[in-house]
Amino acid sequence: MAEVLVPVTFSREIEGKISDLVIPEEFVKDFRFISDTELIVVIRVLGADIEKPLNFFESSKGDKFTIKTIENNGKQVYDKFTLIDMESNEGPYPTADIDIEPQEIKLILEFEKR
């Protein structure tokens, strides 16, 4: 079962412009509030698109984001958050090839509601 019913849209200001990253619901492995103000989002992206989320969130700790989606319980989320922690794990598909680039990324994002 998906953690969200629709894609998750992350918006943030980069160099004076609003930039959006849309993550399809099948890539969202966890989306839950651990308190009234703290949100954990786990994203797992495979294939050629792994650079998009990594570049979007890299060096963004402390930045402000607007997050929009609908949780699997039907509750709409459309709020402003600050990214307070991020962890990333990159890895290749299981294969016999030794010198391949990572083809998978997992991002664990912790946000606090503003």
pTM: 0.87
* Domain range enclosing 66: 8-113
Summary mean pLDDT of the chain? 90
Confirm whether 2 is domain-assigned.
no
Under 8 Å between Cβ of 92 and 103 = yes
Please check whether residue 72 lies inside any domain of the structure.
yes
Tokens read off for 17: 């412009």
45-65: pLDDT as tens digits: 988 888 899 999 989 999 999
Residue type, 60: S
Please report whether residue 1 resides in a domain. no
Q: How confident is the model at residue 79 (pLDDT cuts 50, 70, 90)?
A: very high
d(CA 1, CA 83): 26
Q: Mean pLDDT over residues 34-45, rounded? A: 96
Residue 21 belongs to some domain of the structure: yes
- Note whether residue 24 is domain-resident: yes
- Listed in order, strand segments (DSSP E) in the chain are 8-14, 17-23, 28-33, 38-46, 64-70, 76-91, 104-113
pLDDT, residue 93, reads: 56
97 assigned to some structural domain = yes
Q: Give the chain's domain count.
A: 1
- CATH number of the domain that residue 49 is part of: 2.40.10
